[in-house]
Amino acid sequence: MTLAVGFTFADAIAQMGQCQLGDKRRTDRLVDTATRISECPDGTLPDKLHDPAAYRATLRLMNLPGVTHEAVLQPHIQETLRRISATPQTVLLVHDTTVLDYSGLKAGEVMGQVGNGGGRGYQCHNSLAVEPESGELVGLLCQQLHCRVETPEGESVAESRERESRESLLWVNAVKAIGNAPEGCHWIDVCDRGADTFEFLEYEHENGRHYLIRSTYSRALEVEDKKGPHLLHNLLRSLDAQLGWQVKVSANKDQPQRLAKVQCCWAKVRIKAPHVRKGKHGREPLETWAIRVWEVDAPAEVKEPLEWILLTDEAIDDGSYARTRVGFYERRPRVEEFHKGSKTGMEIERLQLQSRAGIEPLIALLSVLAVALVNAREAARRPETANRPATNYFDPLLVSILCIWRFGEERPLSVKEFILAVGRLGGHLNRKCDGLPGWITIWRGMARLHSMRKYELARRRCGKL
């Protein structure tokens, strides 16, 4: 059985209908709110909902005692677990943390520190199931809204280790909440450098979990040759390349877009436990495999050539195994796209509610919708999904209005044609050299498209009078 992907807004709305909120009328209101937001995801909550009565009803709903972050998110998590438990193929469990900033709100006063300590909000730790070949998001498996606490003055290392509010536990708590893969399933925890703690590595080993973690620390090694390198990074950097290929690198403020030439080597190592225990772990060394990927012949304008040092529990028998593992890690930015979709697409940080109890279930709702939003955007970028009908992802009325505006007639639109047309509405020139529109351009176009939709609905109502 293959993993069915392509999570859409319709799937998200259907899952909202399964929420147990203590009264069917509450669930119906949640479905109505999710439907309205899926049709108009940008802007503040009044922008998303439009109708003042629907806005007030949503505020009342979100502040009811039984309407919690967990209650709204639970059906989605259960369905995601069901889907990935029904397939023997590899599924990537990608974990990462982002900041949700609610500084300036009354609700923010009871949240944790963010930024340089002056802001208030959450450290939002997300765990996503990702299909490794297509990169599509299957769904959320865990979401933790963590409030960073001020470190007590004079706190010792031992006291810090016992404190349950420390951020290093987010990774362990996430995999505990998800649980181990059923027999016959192959799940891999994929994490960035924040997960490189001996406590987390030991937990993964002791519980038989598969992992792929980017190394932060050049950890001390147990070695037989006392003359050789005794530190992890030094050892890997001393090895000759065993494999090479090219990697497409996206542009950012520090580097240009390019096709980077990379090389790879790997080795089996035994990592010593840290002498100073900052987490709860034993003293025994851990046996793992380490992979190094590095860029060669980088352009002069590249400040930091690409280098990944990865840790994995699974044996690397040859170059194909190494390339596959690195390919899995190359899917890790999917969680960053999810964060962009949540913040720029769903504008999750513009929830101007005055209570923390009201904000948290809305974060859950918008996060589920963001999964569908990211899949819709990315479907336009992949050849195998670009020709899917746009109505699989977006409201048919929006598709119809956009089609008439762009092409002067009503006809079926593919998801790629829809995204390009929305980008055109938002100022994208649609030239081949421009690539596909980004988040900001898409949502500028979507804001205009929703204005056109409101006009069309008003015109239809007037026509019936």
Q: How far is 321 from 314, CA to CA, in rounded Å?
A: 9
Task: Out of 2-16, 120-134, 344-358, 381-395, pick the least confident.
Answer: 2-16
Q: pLDDT tens digit string along 188-203?
A: 999 999 999 999 999 9
Closest CA to 445 of 406, 409, 412: 406
Task: Out of 5-14, 172-181, 279-288, 353-362, pick the least confident.
Answer: 5-14
CATH homologous superfamily of 89-348: Transposase Inhibitor Protein From Tn5; Chain A, domain 1 (3.90.350.10)
Residue 384: its pLDDT value, please? Answer: 86
Task: Specify burial of residue 435 (Cβ count, 10 A radius: 0-12, 13-18, 19+).
Answer: exposed
Closest CA to 3 of 191, 133, 190: 133
| Residue spans in the chain of domains classed CATH 3.90.350.10 | 89-348
Closest CA to 418 of 438, 448, 388, 444: 388
Helix (H) or strand (E) holding 367: helix 356-379
Confidence bin at 3 (pLDDT 50/70/90): low
Question: Length of the chain, please?
Answer: 465
Task: Out of 267-281, 292-306, 328-342, 433-447, pick the least confident.
Answer: 433-447
Residue type for position 374: V
Closest CA to 377 of 366, 390, 396: 390
Residue 240 sits at φ, ψ, to 5 deg, of -75, 155
Record the pTM.
0.92
Read off the pLDDT of each residue in 246-252 and give the average, rounded to a whole number. Answer: 82
Residue 149: its pLDDT value, please? Answer: 85
Read off the pLDDT of each residue in 381-392 and give the average, rounded to a whole number. Answer: 90
3-state secondary structure of 209: coil
Average pLDDT, the chain: 91
Q: How far is 313 from 172, CA to CA, in rounded Å?
A: 16
Q: pLDDT tens digit string along 396-454?
A: 899 999 999 999 999 999 999 999 999 999 999 888 777 888 888 887 888 889 889 88
Longest Cα separation, the chain: 90
Residue 289: its pLDDT value, please? Answer: 98
- Roughly how many angstroms between the first and final C-alpha of the chain, as a whole number? 53
3-state secondary structure of 265: strand
**What is the C-alpha R_g of the chain?**
24
Residue 190 CA: distances (Å) to CA of 130, 330, 437: 10, 10, 28
Query: In sequence order, which residues have a C-beta less than 8 Å from that of residue 168 and are 6 or more positions away?
Result: 197, 199, 200, 278, 279
Please state, for a pLDDT cut of 90, what percent of the chain lies above it.
66
Contact 192, 127 (CB under 8 A): no
Contact 16, 27 (CB under 8 A): yes
Closest CA to 16 of 36, 2, 43, 45: 36
CB atoms within 10 A of CB 185: 15
Residue type for position 427: G
Q: How far is 427 from 442, CA to CA, in rounded Å?
A: 9
Task: Out of 172-181, 370-379, 451-460, pick the least confident.
Answer: 451-460
Confidence bin at 464 (pLDDT 50/70/90): low
Q: pLDDT tens digit string along 217-231?
A: 999 999 887 777 999
Query: In sequence order, which residues have a C-beta less than 8 Å from that of residue 91 and are 6 or more positions away?
Result: 3, 84, 129, 130, 131, 132, 138, 185, 186, 187, 188
Residue 327: its pLDDT value, please? Answer: 96
